[in-house]
């Protein structure tokens, strides 16, 4: 990759704003006062990207106008390809009601060159992109850049969580560099390409229903959690590149298709609108929690949520467990023992997760599906019930996260068997928990 291309990237600040951006080399590329003049400035083509129904209420309506060298429609027909890893076939495997934990997913070996889209593997999911209801959770593990190739998802929005290696992402809206401890969202229909400079690994949450929004703050007030101004959207950038075989890889109804065209799709000279990709640095999250007693529910750490039609119930929440102070008095401070009507998928970007110091490693994952019991292991419980409670720092040097969904998740064959990372010993971390009640009764 050409590193110079990625220095001094500029971003637009704010969540869901009406942005307008022109490449500095082409001032006034945006038409004045209208979207579709008879002829656009610089002889560009005018193309709308609709992220919601035309008639969606104003407060949720999402669309952007792209002014580009050639319209997206100029491409050769799509043909199905199969990387054997991406799927929406949720019935391939028998349901597995156990607590599941995966060891870190393999990084590609030096002998094998694999790019972001080639490496994408579906771990679990539910629902159907055709009826716009469901989620899928994928991982990627790649060591080369996508060259003359872009990816586009027709099924939903991607929330990408890099765990190792910075992702240098070209989009139709401009360029973003997304390092571990940052996340980005690339919405339905947006074309993007990923460059890497080392073996890189991470997680992807895909939602079919809706777009991610900031959670309501209720009595917290007007500020806190993820503040809108910390979200960063790329500025317009384009490349006028003719290519013999520029590939578009399309995820469509859970399958991958490939088409080619004679030019780069990153040919948007200017754009405006409120439907655009963004990134966010997790260090900017203002954590709020108890200053008296009891363990607050993890929803207090929600960064972004994709709401369902059921009030207060998310198709998927993206929740983090950041470094913070723990000060609760007379309280069992770790996460409580729990059975949940939501599914909890967890990953670890770095450090040690507070409820289980062993076994859950950066680049690995766990899944506690609908109503599957989970909670702290023996050591964590013993320490938390016996230690002197003073104000302490927790999770320093750590960033774990949760994708929480109201859907029951089916685990794919790749996750269950092929990847060979499923930890058959996971249940053992609770087997040493003792009956302390009977000891008292004796």
In the complex, the smallest distance separating the C-beta of residue 319 from Fe ion, rounded to whole angstroms, is: 10
Enter the tokens of residue 215. Answer: 């959670």
DSSP letter at 435 equals -
Pick the closer one to Fe ion by CB: 344 or 377.
Answer: 344
Q: Binding site annotation covers 381? A: no
Is residue 167 within 8 Å of residue 146, measured between CB atoms? Answer: no
Query: Sign (positive/negative) of CA torsion 180, 183, 189, 190?
Result: negative
Q: Binding site annotation covers 353? A: yes
Alpha helices in 350-430 (DSSP H): 378-386, 413
Distance CA 44, CA 31 (A): 10
Is residue 134 within 8 Å of residue 209, measured between CB atoms? Answer: yes
Binding site for Fe ion (CB under 5 A): 338, 340, 344
Distance CA 26, CA 6 (A): 20
Q: Binding site annotation covers 344? A: yes
In the complex, the smallest distance separating the C-beta of residue 374 from Fe ion, rounded to whole angstroms, is: 6
Pick the closer one to Fe ion by CB: 235 or 429.
Answer: 429
SS3 296: coil
In the complex, the smallest distance separating the C-beta of residue 345 from Fe ion, rounded to whole angstroms, is: 11
In the complex, the smallest distance separating the C-beta of residue 405 from Fe ion, rounded to whole angstroms, is: 12
Pick the closer one to Fe ion by CB: 281 or 340.
Answer: 340
Pick the closer one to Fe ion by CB: 227 or 340.
Answer: 340
Pick the closer one to Fe ion by CB: 182 or 344.
Answer: 344
Query: Which residue has its beta carbon closest to Fe ion?
Result: 338
Beta-sheet strand order (sheet of 278-281)? 11-13, 232-234, 278-281, 182-186, 157-164, 200-207, 133-142, 121-128, 410-411
Q: How many residues does the chain have?
A: 442
In the complex, the smallest distance separating the C-beta of residue 307 from Fe ion, rounded to whole angstroms, is: 20
Per the annotation, the verdict on 245 as an active-site residue is no
Task: Kindly name the residue from 245, 295, 368, 381 that is annotated as catalytic.
Answer: 295
Q: Binding site annotation covers 338? A: yes
Phi-psi region of 188 (alpha: psi -120 to 50; beta: other; left: phi over 0): beta
Q: Phi/psi at 340 (nearest 5 deg)? A: -130, 140
Hunting for tokens 């972001």 — which residue is that? 116
Binding residues for Fe cation, by number, are 338, 344, 374
Binding residues for homogentisate, by number, are 353, 374
Catalytic residues: 295
């Amino acid at each position: 990759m050409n590193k110079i291309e990625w220095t001094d990237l500029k971003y637009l600040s704010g969540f869901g704003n009406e942005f307008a951006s022109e490449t500095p080399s082409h001032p006034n590329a945006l038409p004045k006062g209208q979207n579709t003049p008879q002829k656009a400035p610089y002889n560009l083509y005018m193309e709308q990207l609709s992220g919601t129904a035309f008639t969606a209420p104003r407060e949720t309506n999402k669309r952007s106008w792209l002014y580009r060298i050639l319209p997206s429609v100029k491409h050769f027909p799509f043909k199905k390809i199969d990387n054997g890893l991406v799927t929406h076939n949720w019935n391939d495997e028998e349901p597995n009601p156990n607590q599941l934990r995966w060891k870190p997913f393999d990084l590609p070996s030096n002998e094998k060159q694999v790019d972001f889209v080639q490496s994408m593997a579906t771990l679990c999911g539910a629902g159907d992109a055709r009826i716009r209801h469901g989620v899928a959770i994928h991982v990627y593990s790649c060591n080369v850049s996508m060259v003359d190739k872009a990816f586009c998802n027709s099924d939903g929005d991607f929330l990408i969580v890099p765990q190792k290696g910075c992702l240098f992402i070209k989009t139709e809206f401009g360029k973003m560099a997304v390092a571990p401890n940052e996340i980005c969202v690339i919405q339905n229909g947006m074309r993007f390409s990923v460059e890497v400079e080392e073996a890189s690994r991470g997680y992807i949450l895909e939602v079919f229903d809706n777009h991610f929004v900031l959670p309501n703050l209720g009595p917290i007030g007007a500020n806190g959690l993820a503040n809108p101004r910390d979200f960063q959207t790329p500025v317009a950038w384009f490349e006028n590149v003719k290519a013999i075989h520029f590939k578009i890889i399309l995820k469509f109804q859970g399958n991958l298709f490939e088409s080619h065209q004679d030019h780069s799709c990153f040919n948007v000279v200017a754009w405006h609108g409120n439907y655009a990709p963004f990134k966010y640095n997790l260090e900017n999250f203002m954590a709020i929690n108890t200053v008296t007693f009891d363990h607050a529910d993890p929803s207090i750490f929600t960064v972004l949520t994709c709401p369902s039609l059921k009030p207060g119930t998310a198709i998927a929440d993206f929740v983090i467990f950041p470094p913070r102070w723990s000060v609760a008095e007379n309280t069992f401070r770790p996460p409580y023992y729990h059975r949940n009507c939501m599914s909890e998928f967890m990953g670890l970007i770095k450090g040690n997760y507070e409820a289980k110091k062993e076994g859950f490693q950066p680049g690995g994952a766990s899944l506690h599906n609908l109503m599957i019991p989970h909670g702290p292991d023996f050591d964590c419980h013993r320490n938390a019930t016996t230690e002197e409670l003073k104000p302490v720092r927790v999770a320093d040097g750590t960033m774990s996260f949760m994708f929480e969904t109201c859907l029951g998740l089916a685990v794919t064959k790749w996750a269950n068997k092929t990847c060979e990372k499923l930890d058959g010993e996971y249940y053992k971390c609770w087997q040493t928990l003792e009956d302390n009640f009977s000891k008292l009764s004796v």
